[in-house]
A and B are shown apart, each in its own frame.
Chain A
Amino acid sequence: QKEVEQDPGPLSVPEGAIVSLNCTYSNSAFQYFMWYRQYSRKGPELLMYTYSSGNKEDGRFTAQVDKSSKYISLFIRDSQPSDSATYLCAMSGVDTGRRALTFGSGTRLQVQP
């Protein structure tokens, strides 16, 4: 079983829809939670970053972390065709000699105009 599970999609929605993207994880040591967006044939770019539990809002994007359930979400309001991309969740702990992120496999989102 992977440490981070993410539904690969694809997820197809009409323009203006609310999108919900989710990840579950198994490692209770994870403290930092991030969402990256990756356009086709490009490198991932940071979209949202959250420390520990709670919500964070940035424009049309809201990130939620529920550590008790080991579940994180990304909501996109008023989705636009330019939001069409693959969304990767990522997380890390505070411990380790290896300060790398563990990624989900990514969810491909297509917003139809």
Chain B
Amino acid sequence: IAGITQAPTSQILAAGRRMTLRCTQDMRHNAMYWYRQDLGLGLRLIHYSNTAGTTGKGEVPDGYSVSRANTDDFPLTLASAVPSQTSVYFCASSQGGANVLTFGAGSRLTVL
């Protein structure tokens, strides 16, 4: 089934640890995104990539980094996790000018 696969589904992490959330799509979409979703704040853009080899900062990029080595993969790394990064993280992709996003199922991260 075409779509976006995120891993892990859920993770509990000690503060200060490094964590990489994985995202893979099989739709050959050019653009990919990472959002975090917090109660009352909705979905906020962390980083995006318009095409392989390029990345850009979103609304809340601090403490996160991304890479886009190829079309299919867009990992999100927390170099040194902090409790405020406890959230649900969604990866998404899009193709075309209308920016209709297809989302993954999310990764629930708890930083203690």
A residues at B contact (CB < 8 Å) = 6, 8, 32, 34, 41-46, 49, 51, 88, 90, 92, 94, 97-106
Contact = CB atoms under 8 A, between A and B. Distances in A.
Contacts, number: 60
Interface of B: 4, 31, 33, 35, 40-45, 48, 50, 56, 58, 90, 94, 97-106
B103 A103 contact: no
25 contacts: A8-B40, A34-B100, A41-B106, A43-B90, A43-B104, A43-B105, A44-B43, A44-B90, A44-B103, A46-B102, A49-B98, A88-B43, A94-B97, A97-B50, A98-B48, A98-B50, A98-B56, A98-B58, A99-B94, A101-B99, A102-B45, A103-B43, A103-B44, A105-B42, A106-B42
The CB with the most chain A CB atoms within 10 A, among B50, B99, B102, is that of B99
B42 A88 contact: yes
Given A43-B104, A97-B50, A104 B99 contact: no
Contacts of A46: 100-102
A100 B100 contact: no
A105 B41 CA distance: 5
Contact of B105 (A32, A42, A51, A105): A42
